Homo-oligomer: A and B are copies of this chain.
Amino acid sequence: MEHFYALIMAGGGGTRLWPMSRKQTPKQFLPLVEDESMFRVSVTRLSPLFSPDHIYIVAGERYADEVKKQAPEIPEQNFILEPSARDSGPAAALGVAVIHQRDPEATIAILTADHHIADKAGFRDALASAYDVAQQGYIVTFGISPSLPSTAYGYIRRGQPLTQARGLQAYHAAKFEEKPPLDVAIQFLTSGEYSWNSGMFIWRADQAMAEFKRQRPDYYQQMTRIAAAVDTPAYQGTLRAAWEGFERKSLDYAVMEHAERIAVIPVDIGWSDVGSWSTLYDVLSTDDSGNCARGNAAGWIAIDTHNTLVYSGKLVATIGVNDLVVVETDDALLICTRERAQDVKTVVEHLKATNQHDLV
């Protein structure tokens, strides 16, 4: 697999993890689950399948210092910096264009920097399997077995079995479904035919270029401009000029929903998008009372306290509380029931609406 590359998309926000996740330090740069940041973990868990020179990072220019500091083993030329945030469609197009220009035989795994994967060896095995399937001309995606009728994820319906590779079964991906309402999510879950869309895709670079050309000729035009300038002095200027030509779209919307020959490999790798304090709680280790302390907490005196998550740098005492999320930072304090963790985004919206941008 000498032509296999990982392209980690390190953009994104994570407003539902406020007040830890901030515009300047979004969740992927925080050590929310493990001792290292989610971004750092997303790099290290690729070893030994990918060597550092086969790992690319796409991130906004504003995060350039952060990603380079957190991933010092990655060669300088593998950091691909977006002039501004334009969602995952343009980010993936940019990364594909650069890698394809440098290695026309590349196969690229488009990966995320802000998702937790408990089974890292299983993840690498799945990537290797996906590489094999991609060589058969498929865009391969990982399907996550749904554990509840979530309305927070997109779904993929499995079609006919396609092939087995390294012990994993690939299926034809019959349909991409947007985040469904609850009743539809329940149907999806009970049918047994659906997986959550993990947002990870493995495809050959030449096929990716062809898919952009077919579905998004406007993107493709800018991709060829950029590709022509890669590793020349004209690159920065060309990128800046081309960047405005990318319409803001997610990769799912821009390409995947109407791509041909998509395969889904159902995987059981302990995946979580860590999209809220509640889903974060679900992946953290807890004590006998179901409690979990994170951050540099000076100590936690938990009296009759259960199923509660606390992030704080100071001594915390809780008495008689259950199912809470408590997050204390230098300038803000959140206390929220786990059940209402989705509503943290309402707080961020309120802060924006009231021009308290330093707290966002």
Give residues in A with beta carbon < 8 Å to B.
Answer: 19, 298-299, 301, 303-304, 312, 314-321, 324, 326, 328, 330-337, 339-340, 343-344, 346-347, 350-351, 356, 359
Chain B residues, CB < 8 A from A343? 303, 319-320
Q: CA A321 – CA B334 in complex, angstroms?
A: 11
Chain B residues, CB < 8 A from A318? 334-336
- A297 shortest CB reach to chain B, Å: 9
Main secondary structure of the interface of A (DSSP, over half): mixed
Closest 4 CB pairs of A and B: A320-B340, A319-B336, A320-B337, A317-B347
Flag if B328 contacts A333 (CB, 8 Å).
yes
Q: CA A321 – CA B331 in complex, angstroms?
A: 21
Q: CA A200 – CA B275 in complex, angstroms?
A: 57
Chain B residues, CB < 8 A from A299? 356
- A146 shortest CB reach to chain B, Å: 25
Q: List 10 A-B contacts (CB under 8 A).
A: A303-B340, A314-B332, A315-B333, A317-B332, A317-B334, A317-B335, A319-B347, A320-B336, A324-B335, A328-B333
Chain B residues, CB < 8 A from A340? 303-304, 319-320
The copy count of this chain in the complex is 2
Most buried by B among A19, A319, A334: A319
Q: CA A320 – CA B303 in complex, angstroms?
A: 21
- A118 shortest CB reach to chain B, Å: 28
Residue on B nearest A316 in the bound complex, by CB: B333
- A295 shortest CB reach to chain B, Å: 11
Known: A347-B303, A350-B301. A320 touches B333 (CB 8 A): no
Flag if A333 contacts B321 (CB, 8 Å).
no
Flag if B317 contacts A336 (CB, 8 Å).
yes
Known: A315-B331, A331-B314, A359-B315. A321 touches B336 (CB 8 A): yes
**Pick the contact of A321 from B315, B330, B335 — CB < 8 Å?**
B335
Flag if B337 contacts A321 (CB, 8 Å).
yes
Flag if B335 contacts A312 (CB, 8 Å).
no
Chain B residues, CB < 8 A from A326? 333, 335
- A329 shortest CB reach to chain B, Å: 8
Chain B residues, CB < 8 A from A332? 314-317
Q: CA A323 – CA B321 in complex, angstroms?
A: 10
Flag if B347 contacts A301 (CB, 8 Å).
yes
- A267 shortest CB reach to chain B, Å: 33
Q: CA A356 – CA B315 in complex, angstroms?
A: 10
Chain B residues, CB < 8 A from A330? 314
Chain B residues, CB < 8 A from A339? 320
Chain B residues, CB < 8 A from A331? 298, 314-315
- A69 shortest CB reach to chain B, Å: 28
Chain B residues, CB < 8 A from A298? 331
- A98 shortest CB reach to chain B, Å: 41
**Pick the contact of A335 from B335, B337, B344, B350 — CB < 8 Å?**
B335
Q: CA A298 – CA B331 in complex, angstroms?
A: 9
